[in-house]
Amino acid sequence: MVEALKKNGKISRKGPVVLVIMDGVGFGKYKDGDAVSAAMTKNLDQLYAKYPWTKLKAHGLAVGLPSDADMGNSEVGHNAMGCGRVFHQGAALVSESISSGLMFKGKTWKTLVENVKKTGGTLHFLGLLSDGNVHSHIDHLKAMVLEAKKEGVKRVRVHALLDGRDVGEMSALDYFDPFAEFLSSLCDDSFDACIASGGGRMVITMDRYNANWDMVRKGWETHVLGEGRQFSSAHEAIETLRAETGAIDQDLPPFVIAKDGKPVGTIEDGDSVILFNFRGDRALEITKAFEAETLTEFDRKRHPKVEYAGMMEYDGDLHVPHQYLVDPPSIDRTMAEYLCASNVKQFSISETQKFGHVTYFFNGNKTGKFDEKLEEYVEIPSDIVPFEQRPWMKCAEIADRVIKEIESGKWDFIKLNFPNGDMVGHTGVFEAVVCSMEGMDIQIGRIWDAVKAAGGVMVVTADHGNADDMYEHGKDGSLKLRADGEPKSKTSHSLNPVPCIICDDNWNGEYSKDLKEGLGISSVAATCMTLLGFVPPADYDPSVVTLN
């Protein structure tokens, strides 16, 4: 429990503080590929012209990642904004656990290894094969395979998902080919390791927020049952499926590696399975498929009795999975908890794709509310179509509900997430991203009109960049081109800073309009608390607003 916040005695507004999170919208480094600047955003342009704003860091050390070479992401971004401080996050925690050897001394690792040594079964690794460092890192997988051989495991199978989202859209073979060679180099009379299955991350296995369980079904049938189109190697599968479909890596169909017509790596009773992704949102559903005694979302056909573990605990309240290799950061004293203790009424909303971010992740990886009487969460169901086909997504529906809630006068603090810049940005389709920005901009204008009418304050920010960097560039800044001369699409997040605009038509000198510079997005929490009239906790990262 936390104590109520003290009043700052400076700021008081009739209407609510409304936090607008433009997911995946930063300040582009290059003109070419900056879909944010290419879009017609009349409303945002007017906000920048009239109200004070600053840039916030949203990647690397500013959000708890190992280095400033690491892209931010929605999970760590919302963690930082919601708790007002920076905690070491997934990639850093896993790397530290491996380098120190703590992972391999832990109970879970020992349980899974001893299980297959006892049963003669296979140790399976399932996850995203890249160095994107958002969901996983290939170096973590290599370290675990090496340790498994060292500890006497006889057989390893890897079920590898293609990325093309946190790394280059057609970069899969840059990871799969060297990794296949790595496994082959370890094989001898006492150790057998190879890739057993795969597929694009947006087609199989890695669904989130219960948006499309059919993805999980396809993953289950591919990885566990060994059902699907067979190939002699992952290289052959990727080359063939690319040629046939024209799809980028994240959208490639599933494949099964087989020898003499038989899958090389089905998951059987007595095996052990490690999901080596460390990020939780796209790990929960496949974890449920492995752990649930009864599953209603799809027919598993066969449910092998295995020792299953995740890289981390993906849901700290529900304690999912039952076993995990690395403890997640213990995030406490979040902004929402402080506001509840201070009797602040809060409303949170997004569509399915980012609903968990303005609730679970914003609340420090906590499921549920801090106070049922003071909080309301609303999820607008997302469309189940490729985002480039409907790039406006549900931003109008989100705005409709936010405006209704503003006009009700019920809430002191409202937070919302527009997913467009991130979800459409990941498609790599520049024109669609431009459209998504323009659709979002219209809704921001509508919300601002409602906030002004209610006498409130609107804070516009983002969790990381993406839509601002849609083309690949060389180290010298030159634009990379495809064979046909068109720009090479970039589907990953950017390292660019994001905005923080303070829109307040009732400003009367209570704070300086010269906002602080050089801060990270963890400052959003203290900023919102200050604008709500409170003194932020002493150990929170500072507000961008300085009281006069």
Query: Do you know the residue count of the chain?
Result: 548
Q: Which of 12, 37, 74, 494 is catalytic?
A: 74
What is the residue type of 339? Answer: L
Neighbours of 505 (CB within 10 A): 16
* CA 2 – CA 333 distance, rounded (Å): 7
Extract the tokens encoding 427: 């498609």
Which residues of 398-514 form beta strands (DSSP E)?
Answer: 413-418, 457-461, 498-503
Q: Give the residue carrying structure tokens 């309009």.
A: 513
Secondary structure (H, E, C), 117-172 = HHHCCCEEEEEECCCCCCCCCHHHHHHHHHHHHHCCCCEEEEEEEECCCCCCCCCH
Chain centroid offset of residue 406 CA: 28
Torsion sign across C-alpha atoms 175, 216, 259, 253:
negative
* CA 87 – CA 231 distance, rounded (Å): 43
Cα angle at 176 between 315 and 150, to 5 degrees?
70
Query: What are phi and psi for residue 272, nearest 5 degrees?
Result: -120, 145
Catalytic (active site) residue 190 = no
Q: Which of 443, 90, 26, 512 is nearest to 283 (CA)?
A: 90
Cα angle at 350 between 424 and 537, to 5 degrees?
115
* CA 224 – CA 159 distance, rounded (Å): 9
* CA 429 – CA 421 distance, rounded (Å): 11
β-bridge mates for residue 7, sequence order: 534
What is the residue type of 516? Answer: K
β-bridge mates for residue 433, sequence order: none
Q: Is the peptide bond before 542 cis (omega within 30 degrees of 0)?
A: no
What is the residue type of 126? Answer: L
Torsion sign across C-alpha atoms 515, 516, 519, 523:
negative
At residue 78, the 3 state secondary structure works out as: helix
Strands 255-259 vs 192-200: parallel, antiparallel or unpaired = antiparallel
Q: Give the residue carrying structure tokens 């020992």.
A: 110
β-bridge mates for residue 273, sequence order: 124, 308
Strands 155-162 vs 498-503: parallel, antiparallel or unpaired = unpaired
* CA 285 – CA 543 distance, rounded (Å): 37
Extract the tokens encoding 24: 């995946």
The catalytic residues are 74
